[in-house]
Structure 1
Amino acid sequence: MKNSLLVLFLVQLSFGFAQEKFKISSTEKFQKEINGEYAAAKTSPLTKGDLASFKTLDFYPINEKYFVVAKFTRTDKEKPFEMKTSTDRKPVYVKYGEVEFTLDGKALKLNVYRNIELSKQKKYKDYLFLPFSDLTSGNESYIGGKYIDLKIPKDNTIAIDFNTSYNPYCAYNHIYSCPKVPLENDLNVEIKAGVKKFHD
């Protein structure tokens, strides 16, 4: 009986991790979708001049190394706060949890946030916001850092694919108001993944 339970546990465990495996097709889909969004006049954040000559965003090569399954810790009793942006706008967020993972032998931790107003919409009720900056920021990637879209996990792990990290809209056009990356989400490593800085 004990052996049967152990086998069942191992099967369930392996199945759970199978749901969080790296899929290059998912990243390729992300790249195709964001390129499509930026190429279409109705959804593009680009200026008219940049849109006229736009062909594709500049991406780092897709790298499985930057897909991590992180430990997720829900942080309770956090107080909502006004997140600083590139303008005077101050959207209200709340720290929802912390993610911990290892990259290049370094133990790293990031905070994930929830937009209070956005979470009231059915479409975004499970949406989490992960802004971060790293040692490529201001060099190969946008100086203001990048964002990753996540969903509230069902357990204590969460898959984070840095290959799907993207620039704030204000990296392309000054008319936008973009949340600034909190200081605690500045990583002391290079994340060579996702969208690079925009080249005119």
Structure 2
Amino acid sequence: MRTAKNISFNLFILLFIVNTAIAQKTDHIASAKEFQQELDKEYANPEETPLEKKDLKEFKGLDFFEIDPNFIVKAEFVRTPAEAPFTMPTSTDRLPVYVKYGELYFTLQGKDLKLNLYQNQELVQDPEYFDYLFLPFTDLTNGKSTYGGGRYIDFRIPESKEVILDFNKAYNPYCAYSGKYSCPIPPKENDLEIEIFAGVKAFK
């Protein structure tokens, strides 16, 4: 028999779970906003920007999709050890060496999806970026509302099997702004057959 005490306790637990979920979502949205603001500052800085001088003069901020919590998903991280190094094609003849580090499994728009994470073998030697992972991807918005060559998301080596994958933090390769850069081309296995209306839009 359920007592008033039991009902009150269960209600407390339910409210705690709901409030925790709301707080986490609020934190993720704030993190995405902060990321986008920092990216705007970087691109407005003549010392850091990938923009051409003529574009920098008129630069007032990157064009982002509205931050959408639906594109902030929980993903299962699966480590893939003993992967062989490979050269990743770029927009030039440069061939940087990467190793597939792991896989992200997640559900978005009702579809079960997977993206691979890669580790640049040169950055492994850098104490600032030794735990840096690279997530290049393409989706069905490329060449329309987003850059045709795909976009990137930065990652650090996960500390658990569950990670947050936030497409609001997707940004363009430097090649979207200037032809003087050499940018990795997202591998075919990171092609998403959905539209990602989040992150940075195409540069005009």
Q: Which residue in the other structure is 1:98 paired with?
A: 103
SS at match of 2:38: helix
TM-score by length of 2: 0.87
Alignment counterpart, residue 155 of structure 2, candidates 145, 150, 155: 150
1:129 aligns with 2:134: yes
1:21 aligns with 2:14: no
Q: Displacement of 1:120 after TM fit?
A: 1.2
Q: Which residue in the other structure is 1:56 paired with?
A: 61
Alignment counterpart, residue 164 of structure 2, candidates 139, 149, 159: 159
Counterpart Cα distance in 2 of 1:163 and 1:119? 26
Structure 1 residues 104-115: aligned runs within 5 Å: 104-115=109-120
Q: Displacement of 1:193 after TM fit?
A: 0.3
Residues 1:21 and 1:151: Cα distance change in structure 2 (over 3 Å): farther
Counterpart code for 2:153: I
Question: Percent identity, aligned pairs only?
Answer: 55
Structure 1 residues 8-87: aligned runs within 5 Å: 21-22=24-25, 23-87=28-92
Counterpart code for 2:34: K
Q: Displacement of 1:21 after TM fit?
A: 3.3
Counterpart code for 2:117: V
Larger Rg: 2
SS at match of 1:130: strand
SS at match of 2:24: coil
> Any stretches of 5+ residues in structure 2 without a counterpart?
1-12
1:170 aligns with 2:179: no
SS at match of 1:195: coil
Counterpart Cα distance in 2 of 1:38 and 1:94? 29
Q: Which residue in the other structure is 1:138 paired with?
A: 143
Counterpart code for 1:133: T
Counterpart code for 2:24: K
4+ residue runs over 3 A deviation? none
> Any stretches of 5+ residues in structure 1 without a counterpart?
1-9
TM-score by length of 1: 0.89
Alignment counterpart, residue 181 of structure 1, candidates 178, 182, 186: 186
Counterpart code for 2:187: P
What's the RMSD between the two structures over aligned residues?
Answer: 1.6
Corresponding residue pairs, total: 184
